[in-house]
Structure 1
Amino acid sequence: MAGKVSNFSDLIQRVTASCLLHPLAATRHYSGELVSDPDEGEKECDPRRGIEEDPEEEEDDEVEEESEEKGGAEEVWERSKREMRAERLVVEMEVIMNDVFDTVSAMKRAYVSLQDAHCPWDAEKMRVADVAVVAELRRLAVLRERYRRSLICHGGAGGGGGCGRGLGSRPAEVREVVAPYEAALEEMKREVKAREAEVDSLKEKLRSSTSLNGKKGRSLSKRRLSCSQSLVAASPAPELFEATMSQVREASKSFTSLLLSLMRAAHWDIASAVRSIEAAGGAGAAAANASIVGVHHAKYALESYISRKVFQGFDHETFYMDGSLSSLLNPGQYRRDCFARYRDMKAMDPVELLGVLPSCDFGKFCSKKYLAIVHAKMEESFFGSLEHRSLVAGGSHPRTEFYGEFLKLAKAVWLLHLLAFSLDPAPSLFEASRGAELHPQYMESVVKFSGRGQVPAGHVVGFPVSPGFKLGNGSVVKARVYLVSRA
């Protein structure tokens, strides 16, 4: 018995020692043998390490490793695609920017050509330059659209996606790019509205002016006034020429009044000045001792002097400022060019025009006529210096009230000259001579006589005040004359 207990105790000790030395998960002891758990399946034991190796765990590890490898490859591929898209976008942006710079340079050259075509006036060159400017602007619009689409398709060089994804992912950048163009478009729309309002205002002023001339009993009839309104922007017409001649007379009277008031303020001897004007105009030897002009009619002598100076060279296409013969070489084209210049000049402020283009043909005309009308002694007595004359002789145009009043007259004569060379046949200028009989169909007296305005018998032309014109349709713009007694 004792031996059995001892053997049994030894057995327990051996099993315990074995379990401690070789621990096995989920094992049982039965009949002194180690048996594997039937629910767990067979497991191999490594006596060197004392741990088990599970085949399923090894398979899971391999799957995880393969997933990690696939995920890393996909991430590398996506990153490479983004880099490729970014590179393509950079290349495309460089191409677009090069095109933008080339287009802007071409537009600047076209705009410079457009400015050059204004002075001297070249209608064909202006048309070609205008077409070129518009073409470059359209090309800029196409480049803008290319740029916008590139941003949308490439997502602003950002995180991928095809066309359409970039628009949702980068809306702020697209709006930032488009905003300046939209602002410029709105500014142009406002400018167009302002120009339209200016055109409407000028049309209203023209209607008011022509209706006022009709009320004052000018030489234009209602039929001619309505015709001049309808034809002012369409084609040249004799009625339009007559209306412009009325504007010349009004501007001449206004400038004459200003000049006479300055002469009186400078304490001029008006009678001596009138005698000098009469002598210069060929009024005869008697004018050196006694004036034929009445006491209150000095303004007519001064207006005659101004008219003679400003209309000198009117029969030449450039007032003899150069030797141009365009009206003879290509008369049809020259007539069209003159009327186009008339329409452009009609709505312009002469002060603003000469501020931008002081040396254009109109600027040269103003300089020439001002120096001929206002001589040095006259200007010095008016203003105490020759500042006006120095500026004008140097190619500039002073912004003063006196010179502004002169520019109104110069512009009116310039427009009349353009209209004269727009008509076919051109009007012929005539002027009454001293001592000539009064012909009512060609002349009118500047002095109104009593007794229903009838000119007393025995009166002849003392001197011409402004010239007249005979038009191609047979109508006549009467010359204005100062009448004196034959005795």
Structure 2
Amino acid sequence: MDSVKPSAVTPHKNKLARTIAKVLHLRAAATAGIAPVDAGIQKVGIQIVKATSGSGDKIKVKDDRNSHDDEEHEERMAMEALLAKLFASISTVKSSYAQLQFSQSPYDVDGIQAADRMVVSELKNLSELKRCYLKKQFDPSPETALIIAEIQEQKSLLKTYEITVKKLESQARLKDSEVIFLREKIEEANKQNKLFEKKLNQSGQLLCALDNLHLSGLSPSHFITVLRHAIRSIRSFVRIMIEEMKSANWDFNAAAYAIQPEVVYWREEHKVFAFESFASREMFDGFCYPNFVFSKEQSLTTKQRERFFSRFMELKSLKPKDCLSKKPRSGFANFCRLKYLKLIHPKMEVSFFGDQSYRNLIQNNGEFPIFSSSSSSSSSTFLASFFEMAKRVWLLHCLAFSFEPQASIFQARRGCRFSEVYMGSIAEEVFPLPENDTSFSSQESDSHVAFTVIPGFRIGKTVIQSKVYLSQILQ
């Protein structure tokens, strides 16, 4: 059998219903000549006697009520009606004051005047109630007055709630407008950043702020600036490489899992980090050695540091094509040859360009395909992006060996716990979430490092965080 659920009744309606029922009960009791139940049977002098006889039980009722009890009852009802009027008037004052506050912002003359008149009226009414109490001039119909006062109180409470709701809605609209304004500011700032970045890339300059840099004034902030440009060039190259893969009908998912196997990605677009980690790993391999070549030297002399800094200052304002054409046997040229052969797999080159002609030029002839007149438009873009990336990593390497002691590189191990000191979540940085979306950021506290995308660096006591991808499930 289905259970019967009580209907939902608000507390104010319950209170009003109880008051009406109480008044009706008192009126009915007075009409029938019976004292109210809550007055107490013994208080009104009713005696119940149970007599037993052979034929059965008999009940005798003896009523010794007098007129004094009726007077007490009427006086109590009159006092209840007076108190009900008092509370109803106070509730009206409260609702009028709330209306007065609400009408001040935005400024509403009519609303303020109406609320002021209501407050003055209720204050006069309270004064009148005080006078009636002192002179004992009570309402001749207390039951009716009680119901009217209760209705007035409920109306005042309802009005107060309505004003509160309007005030909250107004505050919500104000917050929404602030959010829209801030979003517009963010979009404007992002457009400005992209415009500045485009101008910077087109000019081929690293940063004008580094033009007057001296070795004695070198600081970790300069290294961070160059590192950001290197990371940006890696992402640009990876984006072009992925476009070439899609044009060549590569299986994007299979390639991502081949680079970083057994990784659970929070979102589909996060698989791009696997390719960024691959490019970063190959480009930064050997970063801790001078010229990316193994050396037993633990520290550099002042002259060697000055030489690395001079290389940095010389190369930072030049385009890769100019650097390679002027000094085809320089350390930077050898670095470009080494990284191209490691990063661009022979199968990838055949898939992208149809053959291994570029690889043969670099490996056998020592030439660079960026200067080949036979290069297609897509291959020229791909190669130009690669050499730009190589230049910026090489600049970062030269700057790292200009410090005393030199900057060191580190990366997070697969499966280790996330550390806010040494790591940063690259997913939150590149793909920021909306305010109400916590699809993966809320679970990062229990996550482990799936792989390092960008390594971290130490310069003296300064730690530059590595950028890692976090995943909950690692096999």
| TM-score calculated relative to the size of structure 2 | 0.50
Higher relative contact order (CA 8 A, sep 6+): 2
Larger Cα-atom Rg: 1
